[in-house]
Amino acid sequence: MSTLESPAPKKAYHHGDLRAALIDAGLTLLETRAGQGNGDDLSLREVARAVGVSATAVYRHFPDKGALMAALAAEGLARLAVVQHAASDAAGGGVAGFGATGAAYVRFALANPALFRLIFANPASFHLHPDGQEDDAMAFLRANAALLAKGKGGDAQVIALQAWAIAHGLAMLMLDGQVPVDDALIDRVIDTDAISG
């Protein structure tokens, strides 16, 4: 888009650039503020201030706070997928890389607690529907589960859910202070042998 934001009280952004800048500012505010939580206390006005534009300029991209939160969740999910692909590649990919994707999932949650909570407070962001539209993280989970099912037998859907549940559960228990954060423990708990299908 080449439309300039107008009137732009403090800065001028190209349309697409402003959207990206608002998402970046939202992600930063989400993780750096004291409140923690899942962004409940974040306001569109505050994001506008951080980027240096008027609230009106923000409304053109995000009509309400829910729209901004959904965009932050989608961006978070895309970053999670990138991290999981990288972890899998580093471990040699395939079945060997599957355990690494789970450990990367837990570490992503610990490094981005508010974003991780926000992703899962957004029911639209992540679904295991057999025939629905899938995001990259889910498609990758499903492909890995299918590989493991082929190698050791079992039902690929059950394997996908077991792998997801164990990583998600460990992440939540560590985030909620129920289990001490121990980096070495993550690799021991997230183990693809621990999946039967």
The three-state secondary structure class of 58 is helix
Q: Is 123 in the site for its own copies (CB under 8 A)?
A: yes
Which one-letter DSSP state was computed for residue 176?
Answer: T
Q: Is 20 in the site for its own copies (CB under 8 A)?
A: no
Q: Is 34 in the site for its own copies (CB under 8 A)?
A: no
Query: What does the per-residue mask of binding to its own copies show for 69-108, with x meaning CB under 8 A?
Result: ----------------------------------------
- Total site size for its own copies, rule CB under 8 A: 34
Stretch that binds its own copies, among 3-11, 50-58, 63-71, 124-132 (CB under 8 A): 124-132
CA distance 76 to 65: 16
Site for its own copies in 154-183 (CB under 8 A): 155, 158, 161-162, 164-173, 176-180
Are the C-beta atoms of 12 and 5 separated by less than 8 Å? yes
Are the C-beta atoms of 57 and 8 separated by less than 8 Å? yes
Are the C-beta atoms of 102 and 166 separated by less than 8 Å? yes
Q: Is 189 in the site for its own copies (CB under 8 A)?
A: yes
CA distance 19 to 1: 11
CA distance 23 to 51: 10
Task: Identify whether 7 is preceded by a cis peptide bond (ω within 30 of 0).
Answer: yes
Residue number, 24 or 135, with CB nearest to its own copies? 135
Q: Is 45 in the site for its own copies (CB under 8 A)?
A: no
Interface with its own copies (CB under 8 A): 120-121, 123, 126-129, 155, 158, 161-162, 164-173, 176-180, 185, 188-189, 191, 193-196
